[in-house]
Amino acid sequence: MSSSYVATIVKLFEKCRYKHDLYTVFSDWCQCAAISLSNAADLPKRDERESQYLEVVRRYDPATLKVFPEILGAVVKALEEKPTDILGQVFHALELHNTARGQFFTPYSICEMMAKINIGSGDDIAAVMKGRGYIRAQEPACGSGAMVIALAEAMKDAGHNYHQCLHVTAIDIDRRAVHMAYIQFALLHIPAVILEGNTLSLEFRDEWKTPAHVLDQWDAKFRLWDQIDRVKERCSSVSAPVSLPSVKTNDLPTQDYTIEKTGQIRLF
Ligand SMILES: C[S@@+](CC[C@H](N)C(=O)[O-])C[C@H]1O[C@@H](n2cnc3c(N)ncnc32)[C@H](O)[C@@H]1O
């Protein structure tokens, strides 16, 4: 089914190519769509991104600009019907991987197979999640995000709600890839931070937090767990369940917790 959406989206992009270079239109559409989604949630970045958005749309005629939301609508429908790497498929169908000097994304069926092998029945992942209730995944060269989407879907199929049980940190050196991954993770409500930068030199230029990351307060959750880890380290010799003082963070309500004899933490 996703192939019919790929054809629809390709046709919409083709409509724009008479007046504009296709590679540029694709990159600009990705930037505008990513900014539209980000600006609904990531408020500290809003003003800066809004002016970048206005700078991009100023370069287009009204007829082409009318196509932009139609493309986003088709992407939403495709992902609603079946989560997949729809933008990666469109990128290849438009032959932009050649323009980008051979930026190939892994076919989604391969990503699905790899994710299923890693997640299995879900029992192993459940063991890893014990304690914190979530796992963190890293994608150091995310492209359009196919590996992450497949991982999220494999978790869902194994009975784990990835909206709550998964947090992703993804990196790509290419701005357009960052935008593609961001659009798809945002629409699929995957909690993630996508860094634009170089994984090898650890130099980063920008940071994109998905609405799921912002709305579910993952920054606060990480701060809370950092504090708990520090307390746990100090209490490493406990031999019976102990109640510890509440942990307060700026953004989360007070959390009460105990450290079990096993060293496991229980939140209330
Ligand atoms: C072959 S694609 C794979 C993308 C994705 N992992 C997949 O399987 O579909 C490789 C990606 O790595 C990115 N990349 C290359 N060198 C990088 C670096 N030093 N740091 C971060 N990303 C890099 C490219 O921009 C490209 O999007």
Q: Is the CB of 97 under 6 A from ligand 1?
A: no
Q: Is the CB of 85 under 6 A from ligand 1?
A: no
What is residue 225's predicted lDDT score, i.e. its pLDDT? 86
Residue closest by Cα to atom 27 of ligand 1: 143
User: Whole-angstrom Cα distance, residue 101 to residue 96?
Assistant: 9
User: Mean pLDDT per 10-residue run, the chain (268 residues)?
Assistant: 88 93 96 98 97 97 96 98 97 87 90 94 83 92 98 95 96 97 98 98 97 96 86 68 52 54 58
R_g of the chain, CA atoms, integer Å: 21
Residue type, 128: V
Neighbours of 261 (CB within 10 A): 10
Q: Is the CB of 113 under 6 A from ligand 1?
A: no
Residue range(s) in the chain whose domain bears CATH number 3.40.50.150: 108-215
Atom of ligand 1 nearest to the CA of 200: 19
Residue closest by Cα to atom 22 of ligand 1: 172
Q: Determine whether 114 is exposed, middle or buried from the number of CB atoms within 10 Å of its CB (0-12, 13-18, 19+).
A: middle
Tell the CATH topology of 108-215: Rossmann fold (3.40.50)
Q: Is the CB of 50 under 6 A from ligand 1?
A: no
Instruction: Among 112, 139, 199, name the best residue to mutate to test ligand 1's pocket (greatest count of ligand atoms within 8 A of Cβ).
Output: 199
Contact 30, 175 (CB under 8 A): no
Atom of ligand 1 nearest to the CA of 104: 1
CA of 141 to the centre of ligand 1 (A): 4
Q: Is the CB of 146 under 6 A from ligand 1?
A: yes
> What tokens appear for 43 in the block?
């408020």
CA of 101 to the centre of ligand 1 (A): 13
> What tokens appear for 161 in the block?
């709600």
Atom of ligand 1 nearest to the CA of 88: 9
What is residue 264's predicted lDDT score, i.e. its pLDDT? 60
What is residue 250's predicted lDDT score, i.e. its pLDDT? 46
